[in-house]
């Protein structure tokens, strides 16, 4: 007798067991569904990271650092593409024993605002597109990973620094006009000052808050990835 395979069983090969807020499971599964070189699988209530780059790993110790890098990039891509959108309950569905649906429409629905990441770009989730674009350049990969780290001002500055390296330097990046020059300088100056705040304790005029700088860097990274895609298609 052939033994039935458990539907919750992982297929052969390496996998990294990851923890993500359950409210965002579906968004991650949509963004990074198989086939893709790095993808997410759900088995029961757990999520697992799979990758073609795990295949040649001889041990779990070899898989671990690769999984960390991949997850940092994925996190950066999800943060890059998240938007706030409306969610509404428009009705209640009851399915009876015969499978028939009984729908009750609600005219005054419960309404809430939630964060999501299901933006579609070019026919696929934008988070996946961001990872693909970043993978074309080492510095953009680093920028996306630093953006995903969300460790504070240090990671924000390192993200800017990586984008500058991709562009060939700070002045070269400014000349690309990916975002308003003044906004770029403001975010970079604030990030540089704040990452050394304990040493310098230097007050700046027109300093950006962390949230303001985060939005500026997000827009800069998005524009850099789009620019890279355009260059490749020329």
Please write the tens of the pLDDT for every residue from 12-21: 788 888 888 7
The pLDDT of residue 39: 92
The pLDDT of residue 10: 63
Q: Which helix (H) or strand (E) holds 128?
A: helix 126-134
Looking at the fold, whether 76 and 88 belong to one and the same domain comes out as: no
pLDDT > 70: what percent of the chain?
74
Contact 117, 81 (CB under 8 A): yes
* 212 SS3 class: helix
The pLDDT of residue 103: 38
Weakest-pLDDT range from 26-35, 92-101, 187-196:
92-101
Looking at the fold, whether 70 and 91 belong to one and the same domain comes out as: no
Distances (CA, A) of 87 to 90, 115, 177: 9, 10, 36
Looking at the fold, whether 89 and 154 belong to one and the same domain comes out as: no
Looking at the fold, whether 45 and 105 belong to one and the same domain comes out as: no
Give the domain range for residue 47. 16-82
- Residue 4 inside a domain? The answer is no
Count up the domains in the chain and report the number: 3
Contact 119, 84 (CB under 8 A): no
pLDDT at 75 over 50: yes
Strand partners, 83: 116
pLDDT at 99 over 80: no
User: Looking at the chain, which runs of residues are DSSP E strands?
Assistant: 16-18, 38-43, 46-51, 83-88, 91-95, 101-105, 111-116, 120-121, 124-125
Q: Which two tokens stand for residue 107?
A: 């005219």
Strand partners, 38: 51
pTM: 0.73
The pLDDT of residue 202: 56
Running DSSP on this structure, what letter comes out for residue 122? T
Pick from 83, 219, 76: nearest CA to 143: 76
The dihedral region occupied by 152, where left means phi > 0, alpha psi between -120 and 50, and beta the remainder, is left
Q: Looking at mean pLDDT, say which of 22-26, 33-37, 158-162 comes out highest.
A: 158-162
């Amino acid at each position: 007798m052939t033994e039935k395979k458990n539907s919750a069983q992982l297929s052969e090969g390496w996998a990294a067991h990851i923890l993500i807020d359950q409210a965002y499971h579906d968004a991650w599964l949509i963004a990074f569904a198989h086939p893709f070189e790095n993808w997410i699988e759900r088995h029961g209530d757990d999520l697992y990271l799979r990758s073609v780059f795990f295949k040649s790993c001889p041990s779990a110790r070899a898989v671990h650092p690769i999984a960390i890098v991949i997850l940092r990039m994925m996190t950066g891509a999800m943060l890059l593409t998240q938007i706030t959108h409306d969610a509404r309950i428009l009705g209640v569905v009851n399915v009876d024993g015969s499978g028939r649906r009984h729908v009750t429409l609600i005219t005054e629905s419960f309404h809430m605002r939630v964060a999501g990441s299901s933006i579609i770009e070019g026919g696929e989730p934008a988070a996946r597109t961001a990872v693909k674009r970043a993978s074309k350049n080492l510095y953009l990969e680093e920028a996306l990973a630093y953006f995903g780290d969300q460790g504070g001002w240090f990671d924000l500055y390192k993200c800017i620094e990586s984008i500058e390296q991709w562009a060939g330097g700070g002045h070269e990046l400014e000349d690309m006009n990916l975002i308003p020059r003044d906004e770029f300088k403001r975010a970079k100056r604030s990030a540089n000052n704040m990452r050394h705040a304990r040493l310098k304790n230097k007050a700046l005029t027109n300093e950006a808050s962390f949230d303001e700088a985060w939005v500026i860097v997000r827009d800069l990274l998005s524009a850099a990835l789009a620019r890279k895609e355009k260059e490749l298609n020329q």
